[in-house]
Each structure stands twice: as C-alpha cells, then as structure tokens.
C-alpha cells in the first residue's frame, strides 16, 4: 500500500505541478492585477459567503461515498442514481438558503447577480467532487489525478483568451472570470461522468424518499465536519468585509495572500483525497495504518515546512513581485497565513485517518472548538489589526485544531509518542528556519535565493533522516518494506 501511495502521489504532484502553478500565477494573479482590489475583494467576500453554506450542497456525500465505495466497489450502480437525485434536491435547497441568508446579511441588490453566479459554481464544484469521489473510490487514482487538473487546464485556455486577447483585455471584468468558471466546471463534470459511465449498468433514476433519508442519516456526520471546517477557514473573509469600514479593500488584500495559501493547500487536499480510500480499505482489512500514516506525514512535513518557511522569509518580495498593490503589509498577511499551511497539512493527514475510521463525533467536537476560537479571535483582532488580524486568527486556529487531532489519533489507535522521530521533525524545522532566514538576508536577486530553499529542503530531509538512501532504493526496487 505504501508503494501504491508513493507512485500515485508522485504522479499526482507531477500532473499538478504542470498545470496549477501556471493557473495560479498566470491566470488568477493576472485577474487580481487586472481588476481593482475592491472588485476582487467583493468577489472573494461573496465566494466565502456562498462557501459557508456548501454543507447543503455536499452534506458529507463526497467523503461518505469515497469511504463507502472504496470498501464496497460493487455497489456503485446501486447508489449512484440516488446520490445524483439527492445532489439535485440539495442544490435547490442551497440556492434558497443562499437567497435568505444574503437578505438577512443585508447585501445590496447589486451584489446578487454575482452571488447567484458564484452559488451555481459552488453547486457545479460539489458535483465534480462527488463524481471524482466515485473515481477514486473505484481505485482509479491516476484518472482522478488527471480530473483534478482538468478544470484548471480549461480555465487556462478560456481565461487566457479573455485576458491576453487585445480585443477583450481592456474590458475584462470579474464577472467574466466567474462565467469562465461556470463553463469549465460544466465540461469537467461531463468528462467525469463519462469516465464512470461504463461502470453503471442497468441504473435508473428513482425518487425513493425513504432511501434518500437513509443516505442523509449516514452522511450527516461527514456533513458536519465539512460545515465546521468551512466556517473556521472561510468566515474570516466575510468578517473582514462586515467589521471594517473599508472592508472590501481589506478583503481584497487578504484575498491576494489567501490565494497563495489556497494554492499551497491543494497539495494537502489532493493527498487527503488519495489517502481516504486507502485508509478505509486498510481499516476494513484490519491492516496497520501506521506505516502509511508515518510515510504520508513525513512527506507532508518536509513539503509544508520547506514551503511555509521559504515563503515566510521572502513574503514581502513575493507580494510586491506578484501584485500591483502588493506591499510590506500584504506581505505580513501572507506570512501569518502561510505558517498556517503547516498545521493545515497535518490536518489533511490526521483528519483523513479519523474520517476513514468513522470517528466523526470526536472530530466534530474539535472543529466546534475551532469555530468558536476562530470567530472570537476574528472579533478581537480584525478591528485592531484589520486583514493582518484575520491572518493571525487563522494561524492560531489551524494549529489548535491540528494538535487536537494528533492527540485524538494517538488515543484512538494507541500509538505511543516516538521521541526520536519527533526530535528529527523539530531539528529539520529549525535547520530550515535558520537556513532560509540566512538566504533571505543575502543581497542580490532574491528569486534565486528563494528557489534555492527547495533543493535545500530536500537535502536537509536526508541529513536529518526523514528520507534515507535505503528507503529510496527499496522503493525503486519495488519492495514494500521501506522501514519508514
């Protein structure tokens, strides 16, 4: 299973490195630089607002289906029609709730056009993720990896034409960006459906209320997890706009930095999608999950520490280099946010194991604490520090939630604390911190020093034993006893 994980995560990373960096820095950044900060800040605020109600769209169906299908792959044709019908009904309910919530929030009438468009995109995104959960649940991990970049690939083509064609470039509006998302999400959903269609035999749509209620009953603990995670990771953008006089501009500044955090978090999100069916199958077969847990966390720790510390020490130069309105203040916002990436990455590993184990109640209690803590910190810090306060609140919340999950995994699975391994992790992090701080202080072209952080991260991982020559040789030889 470890070899399967490494091969698939390697393929996943390569595929995403070919597409997503170009989308983030070529398309998304260009959109933010083309429109005003307030205009993008409004889009960011409305997107976060619609995302707060994404629980209605999904209701835990994605994670429930991924876990359940990976353990009972023969049931795809039986469950798929009911799940699809349920998704349609939930989408209607989602739009109704969104309309009521927007009116209660007293959003002006001119906001509603974009709000509806983003709401439809959230429905389409939820549909794509559900369809992909069937692909990964069937064990087609490489196909799922390709589907994970299809939407972004299409966005590169569509937005590239809109942004760089002289006939349209000067008239580009944020609404065009939203329209492009709608178009590409529809195409991605059609492709994902075509992939799994061959496995659907003798299936028909039937409205069976009792059966739909049974699915909802089984999936609601997963839905609560998604809702609570969404609240404490997305409510900050909404609170910035609501609590500050110049809220849309501050939200725009926060969005510039948060977009880079979002890009980094895709790494953990993709690994979680790969790990969930693997953990579920191993738990079903009563196999030890610790070798895979150990391996995946080593990879995530090396990547998250290397990336977070590198971006932190070059934060101001990154923001001024990427954005027209980037400055030292927006760099500090990025600094706090990117440090939260370390904790978020750990959550993607330990939270995924808890999800695969069905430990939903205890995990939801942790997320409730995370929501309360995040809202209180935002109420305190945003009026005092503006967008910087929201970034600090995010960082603190993410670390509290992750460490609570680590302790919960230790208690449920009875894994004793490995002090030697913990020492390796800490020494590696300290070495990266000191090395990158030194590189950031050097005079010259900063970009070269920033890029040097990443091969240095790999070298330090070898020095402190997080990766060894023997492990690499055993992986290449095809043996599944790496001694991790």
pLDDT, tens digit, 9 for 90 and up, residues 417-442: 777 888 889 999 999 999 999 999 88
Secondary structure (3-state) at 332: helix
Using alpha carbons only, give the angle 46, 133, 257 rounded to the nearest 5 degrees. 35
- So where are the chain's domains? 2-415
Least-confidence region, from 263-277, 356-370, 455-469: 263-277
Residue 479 confidence (pLDDT) above 50:
no
Distance (Å, rounded) from C-alpha 224 to C-alpha 220? 6
When pLDDT is averaged across residues 303-321 and rounded to a whole number, the result is: 92
% of the chain residues with pLDDT over 70: 82
Distance (Å, rounded) from C-alpha 276 to C-alpha 9? 13
When pLDDT is averaged across residues 152-174 and rounded to a whole number, the result is: 80
Q: 72-93 burial, b for 16+ CB within 10 Å, e for fewer?
A: eeeebeebbbbbebbbeebbee
Distance (Å, rounded) from C-alpha 359 to C-alpha 440? 43
Average pLDDT over all residues of the chain: 81
Residue 73 confidence (pLDDT) above 60:
no
CA 107 vs CA 27, 51, 252, 483: distances in Å: 29, 16, 17, 57
Per the CB < 8 A criterion, the answer to whether 54 and 91 are in contact is no
Which one has a higher pLDDT value, 306 or 272? 306
Residue 376: pLDDT band (50, 70, 90) is very high
Residue 67 confidence (pLDDT) above 90:
no
Question: How many Cβ atoms from other residues are within 10 Å of residue 254's Cβ?
Answer: 31
């Amino acid at each position: 299973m470890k070899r399967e994980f490494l091969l698939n995560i390697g393929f996943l990373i390569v595929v995403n490195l070919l597409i997503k960096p170009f989308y983030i820095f070529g398309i998304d950044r260009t959109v933010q630089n083309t429109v005003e900060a307030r205009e993008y800040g409004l889009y960011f605020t409305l997107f976060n607002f619609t995302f707060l109600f994404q629980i209605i769209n999904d209701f835990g169906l994605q994670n429930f289906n991924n876990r359940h299908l990976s353990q009972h792959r023969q049931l795809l044709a039986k469950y798929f029609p009911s799940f699809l019908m349920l998704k349609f009904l939930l989408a209607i309910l989602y739009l109704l709730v969104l309309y009521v919530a927007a009116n209660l929030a007293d959003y002006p009438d001119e906001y509603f056009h974009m709000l509806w468009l983003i709401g439809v995109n959230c429905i389409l995104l939820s549909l794509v993720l559900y369809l992909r959960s069937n692909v990964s649940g069937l064990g087609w991990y490489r196909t799922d990896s390709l589907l994970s970049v299809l939407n972004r690939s299409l966005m590169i083509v569509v937005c590239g034409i809109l942004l760089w064609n002289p006939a349209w470039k000067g008239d580009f509006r944020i609404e065009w960006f939203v329209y492009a998302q709608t178009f590409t999400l529809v195409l991605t959903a059609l492709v994902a459906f075509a992939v799994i269609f061959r496995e659907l035999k003798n299936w028909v749509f039937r409205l069976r209320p009792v059966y739909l209620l049974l699915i909802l009953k089984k999936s609601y603990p997963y839905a609560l997890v998604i809702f609570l995670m969404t609240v404490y990771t997305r409510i900050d953008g909404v609170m910035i706009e609501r609590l500050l006089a110049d809220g849309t501009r501050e939200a725009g500044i926060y969005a510039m930095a948060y977009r880079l955090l979002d890009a980094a978090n895709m790494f953990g999100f993709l690994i979680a999608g790969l790990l969930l069916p693997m953990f579920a199958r191993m738990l079903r077969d009563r196999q030890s999950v610790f070798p895979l847990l150990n391996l995946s966390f080593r990879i995530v720790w090396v990547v998250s520490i290397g990336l977070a510390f590198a971006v932190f020490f070059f934060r101001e130069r990154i923001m001024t280099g990427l954005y027209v309105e980037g400055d030292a203040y927006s760099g500090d916002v990025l600094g706090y946010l990117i440090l939260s990436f370390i904790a978020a990455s750990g959550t993607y590993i330990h939270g995924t194991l808890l999800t695969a184990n069905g430990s939903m109640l205890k995990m939801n209690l942790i997320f409730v604490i995370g929501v309360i803590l995040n809202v209180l910190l935002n109420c305190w810090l945003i009026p005092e520090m503006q967008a910087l306060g929201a970034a600090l609140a995010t960082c603190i919340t993410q670390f509290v939630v992750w460490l609570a999950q680590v302790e919960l995994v230790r208690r449920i699975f009875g894994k004793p604390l490995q002090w030697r391994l913990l020492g390796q992790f800490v020494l590696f992090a300290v070495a990266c911190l000191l090395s990158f701080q030194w590189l950031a202080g050097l005079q010259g072209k900063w970009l070269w020093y920033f890029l040097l952080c990443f091969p240095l991260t790999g070298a330090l991982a070898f020095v402190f034993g997080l990766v060894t020559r023997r492990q690499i040789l055993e992986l290449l030889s095809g043996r599944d006893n790496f001694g991790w």
